[in-house]
Amino acid sequence: MFEIKNLTAGYSNESSAIHNINISIPKNEICSIVGSNGAGKTTLLKSIMGLMPSKSGEIIFDGQDISKLDSEAISQLGVAYVPQGRMIFPYLSVEENLLLGCEVRKMNLKKALEIGYDYFPDLKEIRKRKGGMLSGGQQQQLAIARMLVIDPKMILLDEPAEGIQPNVVQEIGRILQKIALDLNVTVLLVEQFVSFAINLSQSYYFLQGGEITKESRVTKDNVHSIVKSIKL
């Protein structure tokens, strides 16, 4: 169970970009957070990942409050992050980008490469190319692969469908479902592509102006009405 309790965070002292957020995600489920530009989606993920200090509230992962830890410690606990803009290391090759997290953790590199290229065979052909030279879609695949190979317990994705061609978006969706099932990973998916996100998820939250305004479980029966009801 991953839980956020009364989280408030922001960039200046006066105003907060997100207020009083409460979210809970059962283990190994996919939960999506949808919201329009500037709603506070990225801010929420950054504060989970320790990239910005929260003003108040708790973030409980694996029974422990991680809201005061730094990014390195949070990553070492098994939380992996695919940021908006991918943040691929531009002067490292595809393969070096992919393996970096494994090298830090002293994991088996050969196995990691197999897993990474198994999910994203296209990356194998460009493995020697510098990260900064990849197209947006290739960078997106690499960012997801880089996260998978470190064997995470929870993954945070910031708009993985942004700027990606439709069939690759569907492929990424299939991969996320596979990861959640096969690897026992909890997924927090931030998206503006509402139908894509809701269809993958077991629950969703609607973020508007820094606050959660709607939330519910997603089932076969209500998925269509939820998608219709959300207007960004």
Ligand X SMILES: Nc1ncnc2c1ncn2[C@@H]1O[C@H](COP(=O)(O)OP(=O)(O)OP(=O)(O)O)[C@@H](O)[C@H]1O
Phi/psi of residue 208, nearest 5 degrees: -135, 125
Binding-site string for another protein from residue 141 to residue 160, where x marks contact by CB under 8 A and - marks none = -----x---x----------
Residues 179 to 218 in contact with ligand X, rule: CB under 6 A: 192
**Binding partner of residue 103 among ligand X, another protein, Mg ion, none, CB under 5 to 8 Å per kind?**
another protein
Q: What tokens does 129 get?
A: 């190319």
Query: Smallest gap, in angstroms, from Cβ of residue 83 to ligand X?
Result: 10
- The site for Mg ion (CB under 5 A) is made up of 41-42, 84
Given a contact cutoff of 8 angstroms between Cβ atoms, the answer to whether 119 and 156 are in contact is no
Quick one: what does residue 227 bind among Mg ion, ligand X, another protein, none, with the CB cut-off 5 to 8 Å set by partner type? Answer: none
Smallest distance from the beta carbon of 72 to ligand X, in angstroms? Answer: 21
Calpha distance 106→87 (Å, rounded): 22
Q: Does 11 bind ligand X (CB under 6 A)?
A: yes
> Could you list the residues that contact ligand X (CB under 6 A)?
11, 17, 35, 37-43, 84, 192
> Could you list the residues that contact another protein (CB under 8 A)?
49-51, 70-72, 75-76, 80-81, 83, 87, 89-92, 96, 100-101, 103-105, 130, 132-134, 146, 150
